[in-house]
Structure 1
Amino acid sequence: MNVRMEITYRTPKGTETLFNTEEMRAKKALLLAEDLEKTGRLKHIVFIDSQDNAWSLKELRKQMEDIKTEPHDVTVYFDGGFDLKTKRSGLGCAIYYEQNGKSLRLRKNALVDELDTNNESEYAAFHLGVQEIELLGVHHLPVTFVGDSQVVINQLSGEWPVYEEELARWADRIEAKLRELGIHPEYQLVSRKKNREADHLASQALQEIEISSLIELKED
């Protein structure tokens, strides 16, 4: 969960000013707010999330405590590959999240036969990511989806229209599931180089190398 802070600060002589911060992880925002509280000069603070919901310090503390045992701070990397010769598609997703004070990574891929284009493969890879976060129990939280497909990212974010009937069906299916889970999607378009992990998983699927793993990430 990401938030920005609106802070009213008062000097010892009573001069006040308003600060607006950049968006940051809620955990970091809480640490900064608690440190500011210790100065005795913090008059008022409001946390604004990515859906423009406002939280008081007390409310945000409770929210962070409530979600501690559930998957949160979720980022899904996805990629799909299509082999023209075999008409097979490789789907890959890598999911990073926090739970019970741990940083975790889930990797998953799949090989499918029923798709006809690379764009369909990309949508199917996105859908695979949605299925996996549903299995993890992610719900009613913002989730960041990261991919190198301009078509998928721009169409799902509403930047581009969807003209192809088959792609429209994929988009409708994905959006319906996100609504059902109460997930607020945030979309990030990256270069293929920055999506290497999901791309590799998709390539492994095309090579009939099945990947399904969950590990805890340790800090260096």
Structure 2
Amino acid sequence: MINQLNRPYNYSLEESTCVNNSGNNWGSQTNCIKALKVAMNTHFDNHQNEKCCYCGLLYDRTGRGEVEHIAPKEVAKYPQFSYTPNNLAKACQLCNSSSMKHTYDSVSQLHQVYEQCEFKIVHPYLDNHLYHYKFNYGVRQVLIAVNNDSDKARESIRLFELDSEKRTRARAIERNQERLENLYNLPINIRNRIKRAVKFR
């Protein structure tokens, strides 16, 4: 239900030049950086199926999706990874909120090579989610639990409240909806109407 991501954003030569010219500054307001962020949003929407990289739920259920820095980009933390492809994904507004991931330092051991850093949570790209999580599927609930005594899974479940009743019910609703869509091969406009109808608050 929470799937490992395998398609980070791949910069074009022009985009890489733009990032370098901006001084790796995520807050740059240059036109090329603005265009890059639009392209990133489209990429993540397509390759994540509009699902949050942390909770696996459709990210519009909590308001909107947001481009997320898995290792925080703040100057006091890890600005060097602001544009690192494996550090960027899309998260739902709730998982990226100030009450959850927003101010959290996810790095437990820093390394100058991003992929060799150690993380406290299940990393959207670098970790095999099937190793860390296990699910118990029901019609009204899809329960999540720690697999293989994983500390990363334990921390992710705590931080993002993945075992809350609301998230448990939402996973079941989405799973049931997807099964119906696959069974009846529903057109996209009907699928969107169903999504709006079952959207939780």
TM-score of the aligned structures, taking structure 1 as reference length: 0.23
TM-score by length of 2: 0.24
- Larger-Rg structure: 1
Query: Which structure would you say has the larger RCO, counting Cα contacts within 8 Å and 6 or more residues apart?
Result: 1
Higher share of residues assigned strand:
1
In proportion to residue count, which structure has more helix? 2
